Structure 1
Amino acid sequence: MDVDEILTGLYSEQGRQNPYPWYAALHGHGPISTVPARAEHSTITAVAAGYDLVDQVLRDPQWYKQAPPGWQEQEILRTFNSSMMFVNPPDHTRMRSVFAKTFTPRRLGALEPVIVRVVDTLLDRMAEAGADGAETDFVADFAYPVPALVMAEFIGLPESDLAWYRQRVDWIDEFLDVAGKTPQRLALANQAAEELRAYYRDLIAHRRARPGEDLISGLVEAVDAGDVPLTEEELISNLIVLFNASFVTTVYMFSNGLPLLLAHPDVVAALPGDDALARGCVDEVLRLASPVHFLARAAPRDTELGGVPVRRDENVLLMIAGANRDPARFPDPDRFDPRRDGPPSLAFGVGPHFCLGAAVSRLEGRLALPRLLARFPRLTVTRTPTYSGSLFLRGIDKLFVSTGG
């Protein structure tokens, strides 16, 4: 199977539902391969699935994110390209320096009791909903509300707004997928961006009048005082992207991870009370079922990457999920092993764009999974999971379970 056939299969509905055989086929071609010049892949020159090459490019700040043509004409793309996640230095460095100060060990420590409180409340609700053997949707009842409620409290969003907010997040995520660049999905993503920008303008005005202890209040005060190199419109763009990125990946960490854990009863039995094992489980779930499957970077100059020529401004597709199953770095890469030795997964990226919310996501997983399985040791999946159908952000959207109650 050649590289063109692999990518065509990967982008298909079948590939988006189960991409891992296609990643294995890519590994058969080596760590990086040239992409044939066809319309479907016209913006991509090469595809890399080798761990070391993907790691190398992500760490190199000269490999940059390329804005799509005409991005100034679309609200969603204007929002992306005025946020730290989508821009390059020096603007990336300027914006990130502001938000990096908020994800401190002290703030993480303060989040721990918040996470425990949120998790325990949701477990009580699951127990009530699952009484007498009734099914519950693990995503709707646990995987989504845990990170959403934690980040809402951290950032300063009212809990009552989260259902409205989630629909707009879904519209943006659907547009981000490789199959998402349709006029309808673009229109919905633009609508989401417009409505979220208006939402944050109102929330900022409210915090300006009645400041609290949340992140938005602190940032508004700093922006107004001229203490941070950020405009209010940039603040809004970054809040939209930060909230999306900080909880969608965690939702999929939980929903993708639960079937993996339940397939290993010895791990389920040992997890409560074993913090080292909990950390290992989070790491292995992120490696084996990465929520983010690919990123792209453009070459800063004519160069060679793993022996493949890449010209200046050409894009290389970096298969994060494929690199996390690179057999050259992870022996028996498809096996779930929470005590596995080896390099860290690339699920949250590395280098200048390393996910700021990674520590929060890992903390949520480390605290929530043992409490979940201690409360419901007979938890079982009752139906075939429903995946998002997205390849960029791949995860289970519906996961029906029985709590064993």
Structure 2
Amino acid sequence: MASIVEGREVSALLDELSTMVGREDPYGHYARLRELGPVLREPDGTLIVTRFADCQAVSRDHRLGKMPIEMLPLAGLADWAEHPALHGYFTSLLGINPPDHTRLRRLVSSSFTARRVRELGPATTRMIDDLIDDLSAAGTADFVAAFAFPLPCNVISELLGVPEADRAPFQHLVQDWSAVLDEITPEVLLKADPAAQAVRDYLGGLAAERRQRPRGDLMSAMVEHEEAGDRLTGDELLTMAGLLFAAGFETTTNLLSNGLAALLDHPEQLPRLHADPAAAVEELLRFDSPVQNIDRTVIEPASVAGVALEPGQRIVAYTGAANRDPRRFTDPDRLDLLRADTASLSFGGGIHYCLGAPMARLEAQIAFPRLFERLPGLRRADGAERRNSLTIRGFDSLPVTTA
């Protein structure tokens, strides 16, 4: 049986990663953790894996799932159902296990199709061009606030059928609500709960309208599934629509900001971006993933890297570290937009593979080439600020100049 590595060196590295300095550039710390051993243990008993093969195994193993609702009180969340922000998370695809997860994913996937995402292409291009116009007119702007944040919110709104006139408030509501994906504290919930309720109330009204007058949008499709017998309940419908806002926006916003920063820091790669935008986006996802780790709870006895896992144990797979594992990728700390194999873990794996991955890819594949085609002088300005998070990696602010 393989041994678990723990002790002072592990604790010291994890302590460094808990600081803003460590989170600014975690990849050196990840490298040291990878070399310590395949399975590490935090002082609180949480197990950690950092190597690609082990993180992939954790993401795909059906015996490792989301923390069951009945275990939430043990994690200090006995009142989770009283908080709209937490109820929306723990009852969504992000927080449930089979068989409920299997049923909901199947129903939503039948509406949220690849064809529906592809059909967003022209509207997404128009939105991108409008935002680029604003960037160009401003000369200097915060890329997060001016582009990376509003774009996915508008695309998701277009997908669901939220009228353009109603979209502006969603940006700040979703930002407040989605903060619970990063950390759950009383301060976060003070803003997240009313934001989640406001989003849910609006979507409830939209769903009621679509029942009376269906259109070709995703909300209409999900309403039809809700009314077809063994389908989405009203609560499930609103929870799923809210999830598309809260989770979809986080991934894409940070893919866009991390990706732009990487491209501006590696201008020699720009010709490769235009040669194959799809391959370029995959490499940007691998190089600086918007989601750096995934959290699982052991549901049934299992093992990883030869270490036995017992039900109730918590295990965290550091996918950001896995994406830089030299056992999997040649010269992994080098950005190479024509890298032959970029199959990363940035969207997770297994049954919890990100439902919105095709939409995030679409937005990035259109956005990056058009940004540099239309703004050839685009470059960083001073004052960039990284998010103080180890789970969601991105920027609070990424000032750029177009002159």
TM more than 0.5: yes
Q: Structure 1 residues 61 and 309, CA, compared in 2 at 3 Å: closer, same or farther? A: closer
**Counterparts of 1:173 and 1:6, CA distance in 2:** 28
Contact kept? 2:153, 2:170, Cα under 8 Å:
no
> For residue 28 of structure 2, what is the aligned residue in structure 1?
21
User: What's the secondary structure of 1:389's corresponding residue?
Assistant: coil
> For residue 50 of structure 1, what is the aligned residue in structure 2?
51
- Of the three residues 89, 93, 102, the one matched with 2:102 is 93
**Counterparts of 2:149 and 2:188, CA distance in 1:** 22
Q: Where do 1:24-43 residues align within 5 Å?
A: 24-36=31-43, 42=44
More displaced stretch, 237-246 vs 200-209: 200-209
**Counterparts of 1:161 and 1:23, CA distance in 2:** 43
Contact kept? 2:114, 2:358, Cα under 8 Å:
no
Contact kept? 2:128, 2:151, Cα under 8 Å:
yes
1:10-47 CA-to-partner distances (Å, cap 9, x unmatched) read: 122323333222212211212221223xxxxx3x5310
Contact kept? 2:347, 2:353, Cα under 8 Å:
yes
Matching of residue 157 in structure 1 with residue 162 in structure 2: yes
Q: Structure 1 residues 247 and 176, CA, compared in 2 at 3 Å: closer, same or farther? A: closer
Contact kept? 1:200, 1:236, Cα under 8 Å:
yes
- Of the three residues 86, 100, 104, the one matched with 1:77 is 86
> For residue 355 of structure 2, what is the aligned residue in structure 1?
356
What letter corresponds to residue 259 of structure 1 in structure 2? Answer: A
User: What's the secondary structure of 1:271's corresponding residue?
Assistant: helix
| Cα distance, 1:56 vs structure 2 | 0.9
Matching of residue 207 in structure 1 with residue 210 in structure 2: yes
What letter corresponds to residue 199 of structure 1 in structure 2? Answer: Y
| Cα distance, 1:343 vs structure 2 | 5.1
1:22-75 CA-to-partner distances (Å, cap 9, x unmatched) read: 212211212221223xxxxx3x53101111111112112221110422133433
**Counterparts of 1:32 and 1:358, CA distance in 2:** 28
| Cα distance, 1:172 vs structure 2 | 2.7
Q: Structure 1 residues 201 and 331, CA, compared in 2 at 3 Å: closer, same or farther? A: same
What letter corresponds to residue 29 of structure 1 in structure 2? Answer: L
**Counterparts of 2:162 and 2:216, CA distance in 1:** 12
Contact kept? 2:177, 2:192, Cα under 8 Å:
yes
Q: Where do 1:265-304 residues align within 5 Å?
A: 265-272=267-274, 274=275, 276=276, 278-304=277-303
Q: Where do 1:305-324 residues align within 5 Å?
A: 305-324=304-323
> For residue 221 of structure 1, what is the aligned residue in structure 2?
224
Q: State the percentage of identical aligned residues.
A: 39
**Counterparts of 2:137 and 2:397, CA distance in 1:** 19
Contact kept? 2:150, 2:171, Cα under 8 Å:
no
User: What's the secondary structure of 2:295's corresponding residue?
Assistant: strand
What letter corresponds to residue 97 of structure 2 in structure 1? Answer: N
RMSD: 1.9
1:258-283 CA-to-partner distances (Å, cap 9, x unmatched) read: 121122223224533x2x2x122211
> For residue 126 of structure 1, what is the aligned residue in structure 2?
135
What letter corresponds to residue 258 of structure 2 in structure 1? Answer: N
**Counterparts of 2:129 and 2:144, CA distance in 1:** 16
1:190-225 CA-to-partner distances (Å, cap 9, x unmatched) read: 222222222221222222233222111221133123
User: What's the secondary structure of 2:317's corresponding residue?
Assistant: strand
Q: Structure 1 residues 89 and 252, CA, compared in 2 at 3 Å: closer, same or farther? A: same
**Counterparts of 2:188 and 2:302, CA distance in 1:** 36
Q: Structure 1 residues 169 and 392, CA, compared in 2 at 3 Å: closer, same or farther? A: farther
> For residue 39 of structure 1, what is the aligned residue in structure 2?
none
What letter corresponds to residue 11 of structure 1 in structure 2? Answer: S
User: What's the secondary structure of 1:330's corresponding residue?
Assistant: coil
**Counterparts of 2:123 and 2:284, CA distance in 1:** 23
More displaced stretch, 84-93 vs 165-174: 165-174
- TM-score normalized by the length of structure 1: 0.90
| Cα distance, 1:235 vs structure 2 | 0.9
What letter corresponds to residue 241 of structure 2 in structure 1? Answer: L
**Counterparts of 1:106 and 1:304, CA distance in 2:** 38
**Counterparts of 2:384 and 2:364, CA distance in 1:** 20
What letter corresponds to residue 393 of structure 1 in structure 2? Answer: I
More displaced stretch, 71-80 vs 212-221: 71-80
Q: Where do 1:367-382 residues align within 5 Å?
A: 367-382=366-381
User: What's the secondary structure of 1:47's corresponding residue?
Assistant: strand
**Counterparts of 2:48 and 2:285, CA distance in 1:** 21
**Counterparts of 2:177 and 2:22, CA distance in 1:** 21
> For residue 197 of structure 1, what is the aligned residue in structure 2?
200
> For residue 3 of structure 2, what is the aligned residue in structure 1?
none
**Counterparts of 1:214 and 1:302, CA distance in 2:** 43
Number of aligned residue pairs: give it.
388
More displaced stretch, 320-329 vs 165-174: 165-174
1:356-396 CA-to-partner distances (Å, cap 9, x unmatched) read: 11111111111111111111112111113112212221201
Q: Where do 1:107-122 residues align within 5 Å?
A: 107-122=116-131
More displaced stretch, 236-245 vs 137-146: 137-146
Contact kept? 1:174, 1:390, Cα under 8 Å:
no
What letter corresponds to residue 46 of structure 1 in structure 2? Answer: L
User: What's the secondary structure of 2:216's corresponding residue?
Assistant: coil
| Cα distance, 1:123 vs structure 2 | 1.8
Contact kept? 1:82, 1:238, Cα under 8 Å:
no
**Counterparts of 2:381 and 2:311, CA distance in 1:** 51
1:326-364 CA-to-partner distances (Å, cap 9, x unmatched) read: 121122222111122335111111110111111111111
Contact kept? 2:226, 2:234, Cα under 8 Å:
yes
> For residue 176 of structure 2, what is the aligned residue in structure 1?
171
User: What's the secondary structure of 2:46's corresponding residue?
Assistant: strand
User: What's the secondary structure of 1:33's corresponding residue?
Assistant: strand
**Counterparts of 1:26 and 1:35, CA distance in 2:** 12
| Cα distance, 1:136 vs structure 2 | 1.8
